[in-house]
Amino acid sequence: MVRVMVVEDSPVARELLVHILTSDPAIQVVGVAENGMKAIEMVGRKRPDVITMDIHMPKMNGIEATRKIMETQPTPIVIVSASTGAQEIAGTFRLIEAGALVVVSRPPGIGHPEYEADANNLIRTVKLMSEVKVVRRIRHEAPASDSASQSTIKRKEIASGLKVIAIGASTGGPLALKTILSELPRNLPVPILIVQHIAIGFTGGFVEWLAGSSNFPLSIASQGEYLTPGHGYVAPDGFQMGVGSDQRIILSDHPTENGLRPSVAYLFRSVADVFGPNAVGVLLTGMGKDGAEELRLMKDKGAVTIAQDLESSVVHGMPGEAIKLDAAKYILPPEGIAEILTALT
């Protein structure tokens, strides 16, 4: 039984969330709170396995509540957002910075065409996040870095022919990406292609937040766009993203892979086919196995391949599967990945 606490200031929305969650026999709602202060007071008594967190609330908003909960009673937190504008959505990622794991769309009312899909996604996400082991987040404390020295890179791998970096991420990816991109040089001589698994409708806000917080130029990829060095391109909702031999982005409605579109698998395979040894593949934290076999394909074609380590991953599914396949030349935390990418370029 997964014990859930619902934090939501709207009585109507709160009732809807409780109805959806309790419709699954494996979920028990152990408490509801109408603001952040009530949530902090309640979490110690109720000891939920997961918290669903609203953002905008009276007395104390979701950002501050998340920060305080992660400092005192670390608990997996799922952001449930009804925001639609890019700037509003960008604000939701401040909860990710505070320690929340993932953001999902708040399901619309019963009878809406998207109700069933969104409700099922909420239930599935809550169950998955209940299995994540979160740690205490101390404000202003920098995480310990086991960063690899640039000297660990074989000289022959610092190739002048490097043309692209491809990165795949899922749960926990936003913070890992922020760490990596914020430490890369602004004059990076190659472009970066990124697939981040995220709820539909949140990509624009995610890109706005990530560009602002990392100070690295980013945009949502467009069909036929030429790759520019020192720029990052994030796959848009509902499209597989690849790249052509003319170094232009290809977006397609190719079927889902691993149940996903965009998928890391599609991106990595495209990069392996086009760039072979002149590429770097990076597989970050996330559930499932998307991109693991394709990272091995990139390695087999001579590319430099990197997987995030277990200790720094929120969920070690994707990088863990790659490591099992011997697909990664390097296994590093985000700080080490940034260092090795800087050396390679």
Catalytic residue numbers?
170, 197, 290
For CA atoms 183, 84, 139, 135, the dihedral sign is negative
To which H or E segment does residue 283 belong?
strand 279-283
Q: Are 261 and 238 in contact (CB under 8 A)?
A: yes
Q: How far apart are CA 179 and CA 293, in angstroms?
A: 25
* Distance, first Cα to last Cα, the chain: 49
CA dihedral 90, 334, 103, 242 (to 10 degrees): 80
Q: How far apart are CA 162 and CA 275, in angstroms?
A: 9
For residue 289, how many other CB atoms are within 10 A of its CB?
Answer: 19
Phi, psi dihedrals of residue 292, rounded to the nearest 5°: -65, -50
